[in-house]
């Protein structure tokens, strides 16, 4: 399990997990899960285009995810954000289907771009992954305070001079970079699980932003490591384990916060209080 061949897998997956934990925290906080799904999927189309004109897949991933991020931010300014994201993802996938129809790619390669090929990461690929990962984390910490401010209280932040549109562009570009780095390793569909589930689980354990971010990184690392180990032992695809462990940790987080809420209220009133009627807002 820890042979030379596997070391690249462990290394690259760990880098992806750390970055996904940090970036994912903000994705969950800002409620931009749709963008986190759309950019990797659209970037997949970029990889198909890159193979068509014969350049490195990572170039296609980078170009498409950055263009996608800018288009979502641009359209989202005038329309509902989810509509803009939906239109961008279908446009990019439409281009992807055009590229695929022109290329004579083997289906297994497409499967590996969608569902990842962590065991196939070579040493030469490890360098760009590490470099982009460091850039992502550095970018997040550079704009940490304004980004947090703008995510939690967008109106107040805007009044204090932290432009909502500007922060959105910066943040989506970070997501685009994360995508570029992660798609070759864990695949377009599964980077999404890694971005959402650990961060969502972490938020139900703590309300402090920095603690939640650290916890999210730890959960992401735990998810990836156990997924690789289980996949190695059982010979089933890694994606399955990443997806189900992710959903499992979220369920544990939800259970924990429900139990804690219940206990706190029963301590206060001396008995288990029925949950207040749910307020409908939408």
Where does this chain bind another protein (CB under 8 A)? 28, 31-34, 36-37, 78-80, 82-83, 85-87, 89-91, 93-98, 100-102, 107-108, 110-111, 114-115, 189-190, 192-193, 196-197, 200, 236-244, 246-247, 250, 254, 278, 280-282
Task: Pick between residue 133 and residue 187 the one whose CB is nearest to another protein.
Answer: 187
Q: Which of 23, 209, 15, 184 is nearest to 114 (CA)?
A: 184
Q: Is 8 exposed, middle or buried (0-12, 13-18, 19+ CB in 10 A)?
A: buried
Task: Pick between residue 77 and residue 131 the one whose CB is nearest to another protein.
Answer: 77
Torsions phi, psi for 270 (to 5 deg): 85, -5
Q: Which residues are CB-contacts of 175 (< 8 A; sequence separation ≥ 6)?
A: 23, 27, 32, 35, 36, 39, 65, 69
Phi-psi region of 162 (alpha: psi -120 to 50; beta: other; left: phi over 0): beta
Residue 15 Cβ vs another protein, minimum distance, rounded to whole Å: 20
Residue 84 Cβ vs another protein, minimum distance, rounded to whole Å: 9
Residue 90 Cβ vs another protein, minimum distance, rounded to whole Å: 4
Residue 140 Cβ vs another protein, minimum distance, rounded to whole Å: 20
Task: Pick between residue 70 and residue 86 the one whose CB is nearest to another protein.
Answer: 86
The tokens for 27 are: 């994705």
Task: Pick between residue 37 and residue 65 the one whose CB is nearest to another protein.
Answer: 37
The DSSP output letter for 277 is P
């Amino acid at each position: 399990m820890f042979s030379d061949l596997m070391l690249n897998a462990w290394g690259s997956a760990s880098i992806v997990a750390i970055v996904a934990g940090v970036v994912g925290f903000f994705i969950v906080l800002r409620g931009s899960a749709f963008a986190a799904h759309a950019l990797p999927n659209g970037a997949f189309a970029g990889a198909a285009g890159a193979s068509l004109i014969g350049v490195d897949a990572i170039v296609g991933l980078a170009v498409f995810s950055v263009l996608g991020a800018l288009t979502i931010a641009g359209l989202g300014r005038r329309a509902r954000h989810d509509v803009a994201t939906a239109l961008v993802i279908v446009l990019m996938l439409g281009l992807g289907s055009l590229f695929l129809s022109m290329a004579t790619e083997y289906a297994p390669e497409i499967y590996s771009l969608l569902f990842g090929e962590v065991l196939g990461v070579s040493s030469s690929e490890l360098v760009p992954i590490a470099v982009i990962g460091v850039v992502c984390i550095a970018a997040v910490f550079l704009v940490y305070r304004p980004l947090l401010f703008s995510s939690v209280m967008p109106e107040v932040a805007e009044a204090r001079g932290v432009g909502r549109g500007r922060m959105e562009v910066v943040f989506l570009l970070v997501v685009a970079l994360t995508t570029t780095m992660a798609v070759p390793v864990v695949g377009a569909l599964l980077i999404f699980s890694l971005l959402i589930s650990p961060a969502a689980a972490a938020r139900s354990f703590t309300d402090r932003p920095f603690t939640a971010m650290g916890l999210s990184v730890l959960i992401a690392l735990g998810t990836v490591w156990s997924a690789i180990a289980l996949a190695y032992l059982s010979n089933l695809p890694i994606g399955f384990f990443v997806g189900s462990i992710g959903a499992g940790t979220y369920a544990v987080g939800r259970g924990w916060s429900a139990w804690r809420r219940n206990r706190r209220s029963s301590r206060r009133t001396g008995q288990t209080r029925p949950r207040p009627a749910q307020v409908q807002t939408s």
